[in-house]
């Protein structure tokens, strides 16, 4: 690849209907972010919808996408995405992460969930860049997720781009057809952006553990975990670009972030 450090991208993948909302600001943001992925060795991707007790690396040669959502309009179920894997790269990634004393397994049987293929349709609509899917390790501690992020930061030096797909906010109970954004979501996103820009690691960790806005936005942690890992996958050399998007349905933030080598 052209730059010496592969990019790190965080996306809020929103509701499944985001796949059909190709004129939205959030979709336009992903299309712009995808330009950074064109020349990478491979993309390591995590979504909360592929959850396992510990980390699992998908070693498949060719991904099968799954429409893992229910009750939506028929056009959503007709969407496809072609994505290659790379067994050799996947095994290498698994070995290097496990070298940090993190428990890692592999599988060739996992399907690619909508948290990956929907944003990838905007990031790289057609591509021969392999995608190495890793699971959300649901039983891991915050300390283990931090180490995982640090491992991914090292893998970026080897040409592996990183895609973390989750949600800045993810509380279904607060979603409603209101054009007025929830005050706590506004505070949350602004505070997270500040931590990303200022690189206040200890402050970030305390904020995640203790702040009521985080707890309200994420009654369960899985959709915030990709952001947490991404924070620690960033490198000191990175140029940070925040892509803001309107808050949808009162409480659904759709912002995304790119960290990339400042040439």
Q: In this predicted model, what pLDDT tens digit does every residue of 133-181 receive, in sequence order?
A: 999 999 999 999 999 999 999 999 999 999 999 999 999 999 998 779 9
Residue range 66-86: mean pLDDT, rounded: 96
The verdict on residue 3 lying in a domain is no
Residues in the chain: 263
Select, from the ranges 178-182, 228-232, 234-238, the one with the highest average predicted confidence (pLDDT).
228-232
Least confident range of 42-51, 73-82, 155-164, 254-263: 254-263
How many beta carbons lie within 10 A of that of residue 186, not counting itself?
15
Query: In angstroms, rounded to a whole number, what is the distance separating the alpha carbons of residues 176 and 142?
Result: 31
What DSSP letter does each residue of 218-245 carry, written as one string? Answer: -SSSTTTHHHHHHHHH--TTEEEEEE--
Total domains, the chain: 1
Query: Higher pLDDT residue, 43 or 38?
Result: 43
The verdict on residue 216 lying in a domain is yes
Q: β-strand 104-107 against 55-58: which pairing, if any?
A: parallel
Residue range 231-259: mean pLDDT, rounded: 97
Mean pLDDT of the chain: 96
Query: In angstroms, rounded to a whole number, what is the distance separating the alpha carbons of residues 1 and 160?
Result: 10
Confidence of residue 263 (pLDDT cuts 50, 70, 90): low
Is residue 1 over pLDDT 90?
no
Residue range 85-112: mean pLDDT, rounded: 98
**3 state DSSP class of 84:** strand
Q: Which residues contact 131 (CB under 8 A, 6 or more apart)?
A: 42, 43, 45, 63, 83, 84, 85, 112, 116, 120
Query: In angstroms, rounded to a whole number, what is the distance separating the alpha carbons of residues 48 and 136?
Result: 5
The verdict on residue 57 lying in a domain is yes
Q: Which helix (H) or strand (E) holds 136?
A: strand 131-137
The verdict on residue 1 lying in a domain is no
The verdict on residue 2 lying in a domain is no
Query: In angstroms, rounded to a whole number, what is the distance separating the alpha carbons of residues 168 and 52?
Result: 21
The verdict on residue 87 lying in a domain is yes
**3 state DSSP class of 194:** helix
Residue range 190-197: mean pLDDT, rounded: 98
Asked if 43 contacts 214 with a C-beta cutoff of 8 angstroms, the reply is no
Q: What CATH code is carried by the domain that includes residue 36? A: 3.40.830.10
Q: If you ran DSSP here, which 8-state letter would residue 172 be given? A: G
Q: List residues bridging with 134 in a β-sheet.
A: 46, 57
The verdict on residue 43 lying in a domain is yes
Domain region containing 204? 8-261
């Amino acid at each position: 690849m052209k730059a010496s450090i592969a990019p790190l991208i965080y996306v809020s993948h929103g509701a499944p209907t985001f796949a059909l909302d190709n004129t939205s600001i959030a979709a336009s943001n992903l299309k712009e972010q995808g330009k950074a992925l064109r020349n990478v060795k491979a993309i390591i991707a995590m979504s909360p919808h592929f959850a396992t007790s510990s980390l699992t690396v998908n070693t498949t040669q060719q991904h099968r996408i799954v429409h893992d959502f229910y009750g939506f309009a028929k056009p959503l179920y007709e969407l496809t995405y072609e994505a290659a894997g790379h067994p050799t790269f996947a095994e290498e990634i698994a070995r290097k992460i496990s070298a940090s004393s993190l428990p890692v397994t592999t599988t060739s049987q996992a399907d690619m969930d909508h948290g990956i293929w929907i944003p990838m349709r905007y990031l790289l609509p057609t591509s021969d860049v392999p995608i190495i899917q890793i699971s959300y390790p649901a039983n891991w501690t915050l300390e283990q997720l931090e180490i995982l992020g640090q491992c991914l930061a090292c893998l970026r030096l080897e040409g592996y781009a990183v895609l973390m797909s989750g949600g800045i906010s993810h509380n279904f109970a607060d979603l409603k057809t209101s054009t007025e954004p929830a005050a706590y979501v506004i505070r949350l996103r602004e505070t997270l952006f500040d931590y990303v820009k200022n690189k206040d690691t200890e402050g970030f960790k305390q904020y995640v553990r203790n702040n009521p806005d985080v707890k309200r936005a994420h009654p369960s942690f899985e959709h915030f975990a990709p952001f947490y890992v991404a924070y620690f996958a960033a490198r000191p050399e990175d140029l940070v670009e925040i892509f803001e998007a309107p808050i949808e349905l009162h409480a659904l933030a759709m912002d995304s972030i790119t960290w990339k080598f400042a040439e």
